[in-house]
Amino acid sequence: MNPSRKQRFGRFLLVLFALVSILVTVAFAEGDAESASRFYGTAWALLPPVVAIVLALITKEVYSSLFIGIVIGAFLYANGSPVGALEHFVTTMVDKVSGNLGIVIFLICLGSIVALMIRAGGSKAFGDWAKSTIKGKTGALIATGILGIVLGVDDYFNNLTLGNVMRPVTDAHNISRAKLAYMCDAVAAPVCIMMPVSSWAAAVTGIIEGYDGFALFVRAIPYNFYAILTLVMVFLTAALNIDFGPMKVHEDNARKGDLYTTPERPYEGAAEMKFNPNGKVRDLIVPLIILIIGCVAGLLYSGGFFEGGVNIQEAFANCSAGDGLSRGSMIALIVIMIYFMIRRAFSFKDMMDCLPEGFKLMVPATLILTFAWTISGVTGSLGAAEFVAGVVDQFGAALQIFLPAIIFLIACGLAFATGTSWGTFGILIPIVIKVFPPVAGAGGEIIMSDILMTSVGACLAGAVMGDHCSPISDTTIMASTGAQCFHINHVATQAPYAVTVAAVCFVSYIIAGLVQHVAIALPIAIVLMVVVLLVIGKKTGSLKLGKKVAA
């Protein structure tokens, strides 16, 4: 089937799926737009994201797929009323965009900073330096992973910064954009969910009432098998050059010089801007340091750190990612512009031209995020969270041995369907604590059972996993943007890696429920992950056991 026929077939499927879904919605709807939706808190609440995800994977039309998913959700909410559906669509989109305006500002500022670094020649100089310093594909991938850990304060900041900084390096070593996007995505959230000083720690701490949420978060870190095993996979696949699934196709093509593989390559040539041939590596490093300092300071400022009376931990617990990152990146942008003026890296006109150029770089991400936030809002208004909470609440302590594995699967599904990990563990952790509440010890201290910590860890792990591979997740979208990879390519190539880790996690949580001791369960999980990767590498021909692995 040639590309034009594929496109026509995709559009036909898109229209057919949309018509069928809307007809089903209208057929089952009762009442008028003013009454409560009869689909609230039912399995129908998950239909909008499921439709959007399936359509996006089939047709590779991200914007229209998300749009149709939102329309279907709006019709469900309005009980089939076109007027009510339109009102809900517009209201939800306006509310979500206004509520996340700080993230949009952060994207624009970051895009402008990237454009400035490219125009100053910093990215080119860094790429040239990396060619001679970082040896081989393995070195480039490991360097990417290590830098991702260093930037593990916030996943938005991590994904966008890591991709933009390491892209010249991975391009120089013929690493596909899909692999770079995976590296960004696979390091960002797993590192943040295990970092006590991060926006994620603050989110988890903030949803736990009646107990020391920060202590519970820290104690749950070793039980977060998905985050730990994902990092094992990242560095082991890099060190042993293991690729499988669609990623192997992308990597094989990248070795031949094609970094994109598919006809869809919206970012091709995006970085080929005019640049200063006399640029220095410091023209990338100094702006990056300024950006890091600015964003961390912005997060601390939004948490009240500079007002006094709170420490760093409390400031991160109170911070707002949108407010902090927008303020920090805007100040960083101004300081970076002053730095380049002092450096005389380019003319003032060229500097001003970088501002709209940076905005253009972030337009695809901003548009996809707008639709992703809207479909998440529509799904929430249909009571998807309440439906899932009801399902989880039915299990109870009677199945406590298997509950961590069950919680993990449910968290995966909810985060995948809604595109939000924070919303997922915000729903599930209170339920887990209600099922296995901490108890007071003889001395009055709070005792948290191993099964409680395993279940909390499973909840956090499943939330990260589902968010990690969801096409409508904001972090997944930002990983694609930072790596300048076609979004659906990133989703399709990353999914087998995420599912492989999830399968090992599911088995590991069953074992953890049986042994109820993390010192036993975690090493078993790591060994299982290593064995599975070695077998996959051997089966796919990526790994030649007993022979030296090529870099």
pLDDT, one tens digit per residue, over 280-289 is 888 888 888 8
**Predicted pLDDT at 211:** 61
76, 87 Cβ separation under 8 angstroms: no
**Predicted pLDDT at 497:** 94
**Confidence class for position 530, pLDDT limits 50, 70, 90:** very high
What would the pLDDT profile of 388-397 be if each residue is shown by its tens digit?
Answer: 666 666 655 5
User: Does 82 lie in the same domain as 127?
Assistant: no
What would the pLDDT profile of 72-127 be if each residue is shown by its tens digit?
Answer: 888 888 888 888 888 888 888 888 888 778 878 877 887 888 788 878 887 777 77
**Confidence class for position 544, pLDDT limits 50, 70, 90:** low
**Predicted pLDDT at 398:** 52
User: Does 283 lie in the same domain as 159?
Assistant: yes
**Confidence class for position 234, pLDDT limits 50, 70, 90:** very high
**Predicted pLDDT at 547:** 45
Which of 99, 125, 141 is the last residue in one of the domains?
Answer: 99
Give me 466's structure tokens.
């589902």
**Predicted pLDDT at 269:** 64
Tokens 């952060």 -> residue: 106
**Predicted pLDDT at 384:** 73
Q: Looking at per-residue confidence, does 333 or 322 come out higher?
A: 333
**Predicted pLDDT at 407:** 86
User: Does 74 lie in the same domain as 116?
Assistant: no
User: Does 50 lie in the same domain as 66?
Assistant: yes
Q: Which range marks the domain in which residue 155 is found?
A: 101-206+269-366
Which of 341, 366, 391 is the last residue in one of the domains?
Answer: 366
* 108 lies in some domain: yes
* 219 lies in some domain: no
**Predicted pLDDT at 32:** 45
User: Does 25 lie in the same domain as 135?
Assistant: no
**Predicted pLDDT at 30:** 44
DSSP, collapsed to helix, strand or coil, labels residue 446 as strand
* 432 lies in some domain: no
CA angle 340, 344, 347 (to 5 degrees): 90
What would the pLDDT profile of 260-311 be if each residue is shown by its tens digit?
Answer: 888 887 777 654 556 677 778 888 888 888 888 888 888 788 878 888 777 7
Spatial CA neighbour of 414 closest among 387, 435, 442: 387
Could you give the number of structural domains in the chain?
A: 2
Q: Look at strands 439-440 and 446-447 and give their pairing.
A: antiparallel
Residue 442 has pLDDT above 60, yes or no: no
DSSP, collapsed to helix, strand or coil, labels residue 308 as coil
**Predicted pLDDT at 129:** 78
What would the pLDDT profile of 185-224 be if each residue is shown by its tens digit?
Answer: 998 888 888 876 665 666 666 566 556 666 777 788 899 9
Spatial CA neighbour of 166 closest among 231, 151, 196: 151
DSSP 8-state secondary structure symbol assigned to residue 175: -
User: Does 142 lie in the same domain as 73?
Assistant: no
Whole-angstrom Cα distance, residue 231 to residue 448? 27
User: Does 56 lie in the same domain as 147?
Assistant: no
User: What amino acid occupies position 287?
Assistant: P
Whole-angstrom Cα distance, residue 256 to residue 130? 20
What would the pLDDT profile of 352-386 be if each residue is shown by its tens digit?
Answer: 888 888 787 677 767 777 887 787 788 878 887 67
User: Does 142 lie in the same domain as 94?
Assistant: no
**Predicted pLDDT at 331:** 92
Identify the burial level of 403 via C-beta atoms within 10 angstroms of its C-beta, where 0-12 means exposed, 13-18 middle and 19 or more buried.
buried
* 373 lies in some domain: no
User: Does 276 lie in the same domain as 313?
Assistant: yes
Which of 99, 125, 140 is the last residue in one of the domains?
Answer: 99
Give me 459's structure tokens.
């909840």
* 434 lies in some domain: no
User: Does 285 lie in the same domain as 162?
Assistant: yes
* 124 lies in some domain: yes
Residue 31 has pLDDT above 70, yes or no: no
DSSP, collapsed to helix, strand or coil, labels residue 440 as strand
* 421 lies in some domain: no
User: Does 147 lie in the same domain as 15?
Assistant: no
Identify the weakest region by mean pLDDT among 22-31, 182-191, 450-459.
22-31
User: Does 303 lie in the same domain as 356?
Assistant: yes
DSSP, collapsed to helix, strand or coil, labels residue 310 as coil
Sign of CA dihedral 416, 418, 421, 426: negative
What would the pLDDT profile of 33-87 be if each residue is shown by its tens digit?
Answer: 444 778 887 888 878 877 877 777 677 676 777 788 888 888 888 888 888 888 8
**Confidence class for position 446, pLDDT limits 50, 70, 90:** low
* 182 lies in some domain: yes
Helices (H), 31-135: 47-59, 62-77, 82-99, 101-119, 122-133
Residue 448 has pLDDT above 60, yes or no: yes
Residue 426 has pLDDT above 90, yes or no: no
**Predicted pLDDT at 181:** 92
First to last CA, the chain: 36
